[in-house]
Every structure is written in C-alpha cells, then in structure tokens.
C-alpha cells in the first residue's frame, strides 16, 4: 500500500513538473506578442519635447567681511582698507554674485511657441533658454507661473515649424495603462522611458491641489516639466516629482494630471496668472465616527469646521457642521477633493452645492468669488460669564470650567473665543483616545453653542448612546470636530 502511495505522489510530481515547463514557452510568446513597439510613437513625440535651461544669479557666500559701497574715488575706501590691514584682517571685498545654471524639461503645446514646464524649474531665473530636439537654442519669455500646482508657461519666438502635442484626458487613464515619459534626465537630451500608470489621485503634500498620477516610468532629475504620454501620443501628465532616498529613480514618479494642468495653463496664457474660485470655509475630514453622529450612511464629503465672515459661504447660508457632499455635480468623495472643485469653479457665477444638515440633503446655490489672498476666520461673539463655573461631565470623561477674563489671561484665550475650557481628561477614556486634551475649548455640542456646563449636560441627557455627541473644539485657533460616545 505504501508503494502504491509513493508511486501516486511520484507520478503527480512528474505531471506538475512537465506542466510547469510546458507553460513557459507559451507565457514568453504571449508577453512578447502583447508588448507593442514604441519606436514609431517615440519618433513622433520627441520633436515636441524640449530642454529648459535657466540662469540663476546668487550672492556668493563668504566668511570675509563685505565692503560698504562708496562712490568712486571716495576717501572712505582708503580708510576702510587701512583699518583692516593694520589688524591683519583681509580687506573686505565688494559683494559678488555668481551665475548658476539649472535644467529641466518642457513640451510644446502650440505652434506659436507656447511651452509647458514646472514652476520650480524656472523659479528665480534671470534668463531662460529652450533647446529643441535638433539642438536649436531659443530665448524664452515667462508668460506666467503657479506655485500651488507647480506649473509654468513659456513662449519662444521663432520662424521654425514647431510640432505641438495635444492634451489627453487623465481621468480616462487607468491603473495598469502604459505610460511613456520623455525628458532630459541629468542633461541627457530626449530620453524616452516606459512604464505604467501605477496609481492615481496621489496626495504627496506638495500643495493644496495634489492629485498626482503615480508612474513607474523611470523619472530622474532633469525630467521635471516633461510630458507623460498615453499610447495615443496625448499628454496625460506633467512629470514633477519623484520619491527617492538616493536621489535617483526607484520607480516611483509623480505627474500633474492633464485634467488639472490644462485648465491652469489656459489661465496662465490668458491672464498671466491663475483665477481660482473661493468659497470661504475651513473644512476637515468626515471620519466614520463623525458620519454616525451626524446620521450619514458613509464617511465622505467635507465637514465645514468654520465660516469666514462675509464670504460666499456665509452669504449662501452654509453653517459650521454642514457636510458638503457635492459641488457642481461632482461628488466630494473625500475632504481634499473640495478645494480643487472650488478652485476650478467659474468666478462670479453661481455654483450648486449639496449639503448634509440635520440628517437631510439640502441644495444650495452659492456665488463663487475670486481667491485673492489667504483669509482667516474669526468669531466676534463675546463671552459674558463673570463667575467661574466648574463641573465634571462623567458621560464624556472630562472636567470643564467656564471662561472668565482671568482664565482668558492665564490661558491666553482670545476674547472672540467662547465656550467651555477643558481642564482635565480622564485616562483611558474615549475622549483621551480621540486626542482631546486640557486646554481645548468646547464651543458647540451637536451644533449648538455652549457657554454653560448645565447647557452641555442637557444636550448629553437627550443624546442616544448609539449616535453619541458631536463636539466643536477650538484648539489654539484651530477648529476640530470630534464625535464621542456617551457613557451610561
């Protein structure tokens, strides 16, 4: 019986062995057949990609004293020279500036000479030179740039027949699609690299509108500003950044998607700057706990933490505690998507919002204004409490006091902040686990302002254990919403 069993195992192993090696030629042939030849596509696209060389003038750093500037022939020149020589110190030299060069990539988008690149490639440059694929050098003029998206548009004047490329739709690009990058890494002109779209909508904390395409097409220093193509020869991204502990490519590169870049570039060409929409809200992420406390079926949208006075949001009746679910037909799948949707909205025209308030969907129209500068929200309500009220809220695991003038001075709390000051948080309580700490000021509970501990306790008594309560906390000027369960 053991002989038969061993024979069966032996036959099975032989079968698997032959099956394994029988599959290898088939797999190799399949891969070779599926991989397209990119040579024709590369030949077609290379003439549209340029090298961008910039001159940057910097002060030369030196430990030697810098000579004061005097009119030619001034007697003070001899005085200062003698002063230093008597003390054995080298005479100070006039401040010197040194010219440095840097290089990146770009691509032609119009026969008239418009060229796209990165803002960081041309920032602080005193002159910009564009080198075409055939080695022709052309002086370029900066038309406009945008730090927030790291994009810039250049213009060259020439009688040469420039070959532009067209924008593609990055929203249609799928993870796993082929991607072709062309640029000038380390000064090696018209280098073509191949990869795939590794991921989409990456946030790498580079700016407020991060929505990068991630690719494993090798990208290195000098590729910045170059195009990322699909197999139709359309630009689906502007190569901008890499993740690299060593400084070289490790297969993680990031490109600004064309869906974002195209609109910014159009504005830079038309206005020389970007014209972005402004709503006037501070927002935060909707966590699962917050979603439950507000009666939302899933955690999505952008929770309005505060409203800037006289902003479009205030005029439209948007309130702190509202959740913005949709903006101009686009679903706010996560908090960071809203700033981009608002920025792309047409200025001085109505936009449509869908809000979640009191467990209902509400439609609003808001007249979007132009974003001109950073604006800070502030509250003007004054706390009128004169007597300190102390109390423990066991249901939440916190101790509170009311705000008085003396407490404001000692805790450095501005006059325009109202609410209840947390002085102690119970160890191992949910409040502690959620990051609530002494010094936080509870301004609202379940979207109702509170100035008295008794008012807060009244709300807690009516709250269910399932939904808990929603606290609006002011922490040194930062607004935070936190959902807490109510202990029985």
Q: Which residues are catalytic?
A: 120, 150, 224
Q: 466 is written with which tokens?
A: 């399932």
CA 115 to chain centre: 24
Rounded to whole angstroms, how far apart are CA atoms 370 and 362? 24
Rounded to whole angstroms, how far apart are CA atoms 190 and 107? 11
What 3-state DSSP class applies to 231? coil
- Return the beta strands (E) in 203-345 as ranges: 212-215, 227-229, 235-242, 253-257, 277-278, 281-285, 302-307, 323-327, 330-331
CA 375 to chain centre: 18
CA 433 to chain centre: 28
- Return the beta strands (E) in 30-123 as ranges: 49-59, 97-108, 114-117
Rounded to whole angstroms, how far apart are CA atoms 104 and 226? 8
Kindly report the CA angle at 391 between 388 and 392, in degrees rounded to 5? 155
470 - beta bridge partners? Answer: 483
Using CA atoms, how far residue 361 sits from 322, 337, 364, 434, 468, in Å, is 10, 19, 10, 28, 21
Kindly report the CA angle at 289 between 286 and 293, in degrees rounded to 5? 95
The length of the chain, given as a count of residues: 488
DSSP string, 440-454: -EEEEETTEE--SHH
- What is the four-CA torsion angle of 197, 200, 205, 208, rounded to 10 degrees? 130
């Amino acid at each position: 019986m053991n002989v038969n069993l061993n024979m069966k195992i032996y036959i099975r192993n032989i079968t698997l062995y032959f099956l394994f090696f029988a599959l290898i030629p088939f797999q190799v042939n399949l891969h070779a057949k599926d991989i397209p030849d990119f040579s024709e596509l590369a030949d077609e696209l290379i003439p549209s990609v340029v090298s961008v060389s910039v001159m940057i003038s910097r002060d030369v750093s030196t430990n030697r004293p810098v000579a004061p500037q005097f009119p030619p022939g001034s007697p003070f020149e001899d005085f200062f020279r003698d002063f230093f020589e008597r003390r054995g110190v080298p005479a100070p030299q006039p401040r010197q500036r040194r010219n440095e060069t840097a290089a990146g990539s770009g691509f032609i988008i119009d026969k008239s000479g418009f060229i796209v690149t990165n803002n960081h490639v041309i920032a602080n440059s005193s002159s910009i030179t564009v080198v075409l694929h055939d080695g022709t050098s052309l002086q370029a003029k900066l038309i406009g740039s945008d730090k927030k998206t790291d994009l810039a548009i250049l213009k060259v004047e020439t009688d040469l027949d420039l070959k532009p490329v067209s924008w593609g739709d990055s929203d249609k690009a799928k993870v796993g699609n082929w991607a072709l990058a062309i640029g000038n890494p380390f000064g090696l002109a018209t280098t073509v690299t191949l990869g795939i779209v590794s991921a989409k909508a990456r946030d790498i904390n580079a700016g407020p509108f991060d929505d990068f395409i991630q690719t494993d097409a090798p990208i290195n220093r000098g590729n910045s500003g170059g195009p990322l193509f699909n197999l139709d020869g359309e630009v689906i991204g502007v190569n901008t950044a890499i993740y690299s502990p060593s400084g070289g490519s490790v297969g993680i590169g990031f490109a600004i998607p064309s869906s974002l870049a195209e609109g910014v570039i159009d504005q830079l060409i038309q206005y020389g700057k970007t014209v972005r929409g402004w709503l006037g809200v501070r927002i935060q992420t909707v966590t699962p706990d917050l979603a439950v406390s507000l009666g939302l079926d899933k955690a999505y949208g952008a929770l309005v933490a505060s409203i800037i006075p006289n902003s479009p949001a205030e005029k439209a009746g948007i309130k702190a505690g509202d959740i913005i679910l949709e903006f101009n037909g686009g679903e706010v799948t996560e908090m960071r998507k809203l700033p981009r949707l608002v920025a792309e909205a047409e200025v001085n025209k109505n936009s449509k919002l869908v809000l979640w308030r009191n467990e209902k969907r509400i439609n609003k129209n808001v007249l979007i204004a132009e974003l001109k500068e950073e604006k800070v929200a502030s509250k003007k309500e004054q706390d009128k409490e004169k007597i300190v009220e102390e109390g423990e809220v066991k249901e939440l695991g916190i101790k509170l006091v009311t705000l008085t003038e003396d407490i404001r001075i000692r805790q450095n709390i501005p006059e325009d902040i109202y609410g209840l000051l947390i002085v102690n948080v119970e160890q191992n309580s949910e409040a502690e686990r959620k990051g609530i700490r002494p010094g936080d000021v509870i301004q609202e509970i379940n979207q109702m302002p509170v100035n008295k501990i008794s008012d807060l306790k009244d709300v807690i008594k009516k709250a269910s254990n399932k939904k808990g309560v929603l606290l609006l906390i002011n922490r040194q000027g930062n607004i935070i919403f936190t959902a807490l369960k109510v202990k029985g």
